[in-house]
Structure 1
Amino acid sequence: NLSGATAVGFDGVAATSFTVNSATQITAVAPAHVAGAAAVTVTTPGGTSNPDDPQAYFFYAASPSLAAVAPASGTTAGGTTVTLTGADLLGATAVRFDAVAATSFTVDSATQITAVAPAHVAGAAAVTVTTPGGTSNPVGYVYLAPPTLISLVPDEGPTHAGTVVTLTGTNLTVTTEVRFDATPVSFTVVSPTQVTAVAPAGTDGPVSVTATTPAGTSNALTYTRLPAPGI
């Protein structure tokens, strides 16, 4: 009995517009409203529909917002699990890194989503969440290219500790660890292409040297410990 409808209301607020499609259907544009449930009514020459009908409620979702993403960086290959915190995240239908959809995501609560970052070129990306209430503000995430090593100078030294070795390569700015085989050593980041590290003590022979950043672990280069001369 919707023919001849003269008004559609959302908690008494008139719909922005509406079209009577048939005696059983109306298409309406919802007006602005605070978050929460709104009773939808239709008025015709025969009267106004029952606002207490449980099937005649429309739910206004608040716009989602993001406060942080942690960690705030990861590898260009994707696969980093990140935690997004914010508000009004329930019902999320999409998480995007720039325009690229997250590999997967889980809505943990109204204030937290866990997502897996997709592959992306190196550089900054804007992370957003979409819900029925709209799309959130962006938060920044940085894609880091994996580190590579090109040379070690010197590439050999004594079996005792203390030799300062210069590692040259690429994408070393955020190096978090340098290892000689399985042994982590002290190091200093000099530039995006250079790190200095102090070789540890060990038996003579070759060891593998690697550098690790949030984007992964580099290729290995060989450092050789030389036995002390005998007399």
Structure 2
Amino acid sequence: MAISPNQGATGGGDTVTITGTNLANATAVHFGEELATITGNTPTSVTVTSPSGSGAVDTTVTTSAGTSAPLSFFYLKSPVVTSVEPASGAVAGGDTITIMGSGLSGATSVDFGGTPVAPTVVSDSEITVVTPATAAGDVVLTVSTPGGLFDNLVFGFVDPPTAASFTPLLGPAAGDQMVDIVGTDLATASGVSTVTSVTFGVTPATFFYALNSTRLAVLTPAQATGAVTISLTTTGGSTTVPGAYVYV
């Protein structure tokens, strides 16, 4: 005899099929001491809805001829997600994101607002997935495993950024001047910053924060005197701010 699948959620509700011989007129299927609901039965198979349970249990089929030898069935805990990095990506898709948590080893799907993608399982606490192409906006991110679903997540898809202007136009060579950059798509629809780097010439800024989707605050790094361009990168793409910032 065989059982498929041989694992499921602790809350039950999974469709499980047991195959073998002489299974006609099954009167009971037990998962440990719990009785499953029989939904289909032929001489070679019994299909049931699994009851709730935990750990590893013996599964048996009872007919008028007796009770079968046990088959192992494993109850898996529901997945828990603790972080998604990054929390946003380009509308074109193709970004690799890392999902951390627990109970992820059997992950079968990561759904982005109705678009399912097969993940790569790294360990029980980590999976990676490549984002699909999706219209700009926030979507519900759902992780599916044999143990259940985790859908208390939001992922933002963003267009490539634009930058229109910045103030002030100059600052000290020692740095530490706060610069306000105006543009678009600097944060997700829910207000989460999408900016991953800002450079003045070739020198990266060490502090920057998107106030909203159209404004970015940046603390200038130290730099030799002269004019430099400001470039910024978000999870949606990269752009250069028009004009030049002057170190004096």
Higher Cα Rg, which structure? 1
The amino acid across from 1:38 in the alignment is V
User: Partner residue of 2:113?
Assistant: 98
- Alignment counterpart, residue 132 of structure 2, candidates 94, 107, 118: 118
> CA 1:167–1:132 in 2, change beyond 3 Å: closer, same or farther?
closer
How many correspondences in the alignment?
Answer: 217
How much is the aligned-residue C-alpha RMSD, in angstroms? 3.8
* Structure 1 Cα separation of the partners of residues 50 and 147 of structure 2: 13
> CA 1:196–1:21 in 2, change beyond 3 Å: closer, same or farther?
closer
- Alignment counterpart, residue 55 of structure 2, candidates 30, 36, 42: 36
Whether 2:38 is the aligned partner of 1:17: answer yes
User: Partner residue of 1:6?
Assistant: 27
User: Partner residue of 1:133?
Assistant: 147
- 8 Å CA contact 2:60–2:67 kept in 1: the answer is yes
TM-superposed CA distance for 1:167, in Å, is: 4.5
- 8 Å CA contact 1:5–1:44 kept in 2: the answer is yes
Structure 2 alignment gaps of length 5 or more: 1-21, 188-192
User: Partner residue of 2:201?
Assistant: 181
The amino acid across from 1:33 in the alignment is S
- Alignment counterpart, residue 236 of structure 2, candidates 207, 210, 215: 215
- 8 Å CA contact 2:107–2:146 kept in 1: the answer is yes
Aligned residues with identical type, % of pairs: 38
For residues 40-83 of structure 1, give each alpha carbon's deviation from its aligned partner in whole angstroms, at most 9, with x where no partner exists: 222233222223xxxx3333333323232123233333333322
- Alignment counterpart, residue 156 of structure 2, candidates 138, 142, 148: 142
> CA 1:108–1:224 in 2, change beyond 3 Å: closer, same or farther?
closer
* Structure 2 Cα separation of the partners of residues 105 and 39 of structure 1: 30
- 8 Å CA contact 1:149–1:210 kept in 2: the answer is no
Structure 1 alignment gaps of length 5 or more: 226-231
